[in-house]
Every structure is written in C-alpha cells, then in structure tokens.
A = this chain, B = another copy of it.
Amino acid sequence: MGYSSELGNELLRENIAHMLSQYRGIPVQADEILITRGSQMALYLTALSLIQPGDVVLIENPGYAPAWQVLRQAGAQLIPIPVDDEGIQIEAVESVCRRTSVKALLTTPQHQFPTTVTLKADRRMALLELSHQYGFTIIEDDYDHEFHYGTKVPLPLASFAHGGPILYISSLSKLIAPAVRIGFVTGPPAFIQAAATLRSIIDRQGDNVLEQAVAELMQAGEIQKHARRALNVYRQRHAQTHQFLQQYLADAVTYRVPEGGLAYWIRFNQSRNIPELTKQLQQQGVSVIDTDAFSYEGAGLNALRIGFASLTSPEMEQVLQVLQKTL
C-alpha cells in the first residue's frame, strides 16, 4: 500500500512481457514496459516524450479523435491519411513523406478505429518499409488485440524488426473492464525511461494493488481463461449482429464484416443527418456515438459504429429494429 516503481508493478510487467513475447511476437523484457492508467495515458506519455512542438504526425482519417487531442497537446502538427477498405492508404503516407519530414505515424492496424478494418498484410510491410526509409516512428495502438475472429490473427507491426522504431501501446481495459485502467507502452529503453520520468511528474505511480491483483490473475492463467470465454461470447455476438443487420437493414446500409474488434461500421446508402439520427436514437434509449467527430475535417461520414460487446442477442435485435424504424 506504499509508494511503488514509476514503471508499474514488476510482476505485472513480467506477465505482460511474457504475453507479448509468447502470443504477439514482440520479444520484450519487463523493464522495457511502462504500465499506465489505460491506453489514453500511454498515448499521452508517448506523445509528450516523442514529439517536439511543430513535429509532423500522420494520423488515420477517420480516426480516434481523443488521440488527436493528445497529439495536439504535445504540439504535433497533424496530417490526416485516408483509410479505405484495406486500411490506411500507403500511397498517401508516402506522398506526405516525400514532401515533408514526418516524425511519427499513429495507427490502429489490428482493428482500425472507427472503421474496424484490419490492415492488409502487404500494406503492413509497405508501412514498415516507409518508416525505415523515411525514419519516422510508428505509434501502434493495439487496443483490442485479443478479439479477432478469423483463423489467422495478424501479428502487430511491432513484431516485425525490420522497420523503424515502433512504440507499441495496448491495454487490458477492453479485456477486463473499462474501469480497470491498465494500459502499457513498450519501446526502446531510453524512450521508456523518458516516459516513466514524465509519468512520475504527472501521476507519481499507478494502482499497485490493482496491478498486483491483475498480475496474479495473469500468472494463474485466469485472465487468459477469461479472454477465451470473452472471445467466444463476442464471436457469437459478432455473428448475431451480422445476421440482424441482414434481417433488418440490408437495404439501408453497406458494411464489411469486421475480422475482429467489438463493433460494426455501417455506412448508410442514403445520405443521413448523423447528429440528428444519433439524437433520435438516444431518445429511444439507444446510445450511439456521433461518428462525425471521427472525421478529421468534421465532414459527415454517413455511418454509425454499432458496438456489440455489451449487448445480448435480444438487445441487439431490439437496437437494430429501433434503427430500422427510425430510418
């Protein structure tokens, strides 16, 4: 219950190092990991340690707006890169690199936020190649790695050694519960040390009791068992959502079945006022996020992100019936 290491609980770092080495192809030691309060703080510490005011950082568009706020807070100049059905567009990355010095690129290759697209293998290789060639750092946010439904789970970019430096951010919050704020970042020792120093300035230490408890659960294999059970539940919900989307909204929307993650990204065939639709749904008890915030330009994306993690089959059916009726 006293003061503890600024890197976070050691047993937890050992268990995360083991998980990354064994299951994600990222060979790291416990002292190359900094535990944080969720991936948001991991990104904040990463951004402030890496970025000097004025540095150019490429971001995915559409993307995770709270991450843009963090990068801007660090003084970054953001350049949006379009995302299509195969993930972030490599030509656009290269085009920017050719005309300006790029410090870093923030990407969510496993399940792109918000579009859910898994970055295709050839694009992964091309991105690593570009980071090597132009010397930019890849910040990889792998926020829900565990939840992938295909037979082949892609390895993180950070598992490939031949690119430039990669700072890899992930989280246990999606696996355990949003309120369990445990994220982490791995990277070169000098970076981890800088980030840890900053962390001690912001927030002296993490929750050592919680971290020890989670570490012991990982050590005993309980977290892994929970992950397998959760994956089975989510796989069912993933399939059911597809079925209900076909049943109720096949004519109204276009979507790709996501390879993983906890949401569908559905695009409306007709032009819709998304803020208005969001409000109407909320009045009927259906809570959805206004997706226009995910557009860098603030332009309408004419899409919704349908999260299925916390909805039972009857609940999801009801949600999509309400959506159908509202449309």
Within 8 A of B (CB), among A149-207: 177-181, 198, 200-205, 207
Contacts of A2 in B (CB 8 A): 177-179
With an 8 Å Cβ cutoff, the count of chain A residues facing the other chain is 29
Contacts of A179 in B (CB 8 A): 1-4, 205, 207-209
Asked if A324 is at the interface of the complex by the 8 Å CB criterion, the answer is: no
Are B1 and A203 interface neighbours, CB within 8 A?
no
Asked if A133 is at the interface of the complex by the 8 Å CB criterion, the answer is: no
Within 8 A of B (CB), among A195-237: 198, 200-205, 207-210
For A180, give the chain B residue with the smallest CB separation: B1
Contacts A208-B179, A209-B179; A37 near B1 (Cβ below 8 A): no
Are B201 and A181 interface neighbours, CB within 8 A?
no
Which of the 9-residue segments A65-73, A96-104, A118-126, A273-281 touches chain B?
A: A65-73
Contacts of A69 in B (CB 8 A): 201
Contact of A38 among B1, B203, B210 (CB under 8 A): B203
For A204, give the chain B residue with the smallest CB separation: B40
The complex is assembled from copies of this chain, and their number is 2
The CA of A117 and the CA of B73, in the complex, are separated in Å by 38
The CA of A209 and the CA of B207, in the complex, are separated in Å by 12
Contact of A181 among B38, B41, B177, B207 (CB under 8 A): B207
Are B204 and A38 interface neighbours, CB within 8 A?
yes
Tell me how far the C-beta of A58 lies from the nearest C-beta in chain B, rounded to whole angstroms.
20
Are A70 and B201 interface neighbours, CB within 8 A?
yes
A1-17 CB contact bits vs B (8 Å, 1 = yes)? 11110000000000000
Are A178 and B3 interface neighbours, CB within 8 A?
yes
Within 8 A of B (CB), among A1-47: 1-4, 37-38, 40-41, 44
The CA of A208 and the CA of B210, in the complex, are separated in Å by 13
For A208, give the chain B residue with the smallest CB separation: B179
The CA of A38 and the CA of B41, in the complex, are separated in Å by 15
Contacts A37-B37, A207-B179, A208-B179; A73 near B201 (Cβ below 8 A): yes
Tell me how far the C-beta of A37 lies from the nearest C-beta in chain B, rounded to whole angstroms.
5
Tell me how far the C-beta of A93 lies from the nearest C-beta in chain B, rounded to whole angstroms.
25
Contacts of A209 in B (CB 8 A): 179
Q: Which residues of A line the B interface, CB within 8 A?
A: 1-4, 37-38, 40-41, 44, 66, 69-70, 73, 177-181, 198, 200-205, 207-210
